[in-house]
Amino acid sequence: MTVELVRSNASDADVLFAARVSTQGEQTLESAQSGDEATSRDRGLINYLMRDRHGSPFEHNSMTFYVQAPIFVFREFMRHRMASYNEESGRYRQLNPTFYVPNEKRNLVQEGKPGAYNFLPGTAEQTALVQAEAEAQSVAAYESYQRMLEAGVAREVARIVLPLNLYSSMYVTVNARSLMNFLSLRTKREGTHFPSFPQREIEMCAEQMENFFAELMPLTYEAFNKNGRVAP
């Protein structure tokens, strides 16, 4: 899974001027335009907003990510209707033969009940089976895709035989409040108020997005973790 931060307009200071306009009105305009960074003295206000779930001040920022992942991961991404997405199109370009095949580190055995699954390592035989089947089906599907394209079949029709482990790419633009919601659901952490059990592949994307978020908005990120990783 590949995640790159393409551009951002996001800092802890964005949270501060958005929050302070409630009580200071036009007096906040100078600080909003100054580009000054938040300081450790602002930690208390940001923590208060996070703790008491005053969420709208965390929306006045933007982060755009470029993501490369299998199509089945993108299906899970787009369950989150709080971001803007643009994905490469199989109608307008020939798709590349890049497929996801789990390596030996991927847990394969599912235990537990819905909503509280645990995943355990597979046996060497199970790992070999998953890899062999995924590779065989990927090769066969792409060869079928190529045969149709060579016969003059439109790309939008030929693509229907391609499997969900085909890699795609997209841009995702999101604000901090929505990103925290995404992270709370798509990462598994001890001590969270609402435990989550994400599929590992989307969690790998979420972890990379989280690293960028932590660098851009360290005080907001600190408050997010301090208050149980609940989006305000």
Q: Is 51 a catalytic residue?
A: no
Choosing from 186, 189, 200, 229, the catalytic residue is 186
* Cα distance between residue 198 and residue 193, in whole Å: 15
Residue among 229, 177, 173 nearest 19 (CA): 177
Please, are residues 45 and 31 in contact by the beta-carbon 8 Å criterion?
no
* Cα distance between residue 154 and residue 94, in whole Å: 10
Residue among 201, 205, 217 nearest 3 (CA): 205
Question: Each residue of 3-14: b (16+ CB within 10 Å) or e?
Answer: bebeebebbbbb
* Cα distance between residue 16 and residue 60, in whole Å: 10
Q: Which residues are known catalytic residues?
A: 186
